[in-house]
Amino acid sequence: MFEEAVIFATNAHAGQKRKGTDIPFIIHPLEVAAIVAAITTDEEMLCAAVLHDVVEDCKDISIQDIRMRFGARVASLVDQESEDKSKSWQERKGSTIQFLKNEASRNAKIIALGDKLANIRSMARDYREIGDQLWLRFNMKDKNMHAWYYRGLTEAFQELAHYKEYQEYRQLVEQVFGSPAE
């Protein structure tokens, strides 16, 4: 089933690039799946990790499509990772933090941690190279807003603090945004 999910995600994200780069987008969900695989061997979670952006970023794919092809649990995990693009950036990110703090299952938090760790790794790498120019590639160009979001996620992921992936995430957030007191 995982191989099928990889093929599905690769086809769904065909032609998409990471923001502000020429890197094929599919690299991101594959990295998320690799991070999740370091925590669990649960195949449905690995499928959800590689599929986590298809509904949000591919207009022709719905949660129903995921449910029919990969089952209810994978669809539920993907749905928990999908943001409502009709809301503003700040509303979406605030909702994500609150959902992960108060409602998300542990499994959904693990997939979200994989997603956000992959993102902050990329941001840290690019920030070292281009500095504050990094923020210009995003819809939200205010570094302080990104800091608010990623620090809020650090707190939301607290249940996962015993994983080395959480520790790496926390360290990279501090590296990119500084300590909260700064």
Please list the active-site residues. 56-57
Sign of CA dihedral 108, 152, 119, 31: negative
Q: Which amino acid belongs to residue 53? A: D
Nearest to 44 by CA among 88, 110, 99, 95: 110
CA angle 132, 54, 4 (to 5 degrees): 125
3-state secondary structure of 22: coil
Can you list the alpha helix ranges (DSSP code H) found in the chain?
Answer: 2-12, 27-37, 43-51, 54-57, 63-70, 72-81, 89-102, 106-130, 143-156, 164-177
- What residues pair up with 17 in beta bridges, in sequence order? 24
Polymer length of the chain: 182
- The Cα 96–Cα 4 span in angstroms is 28
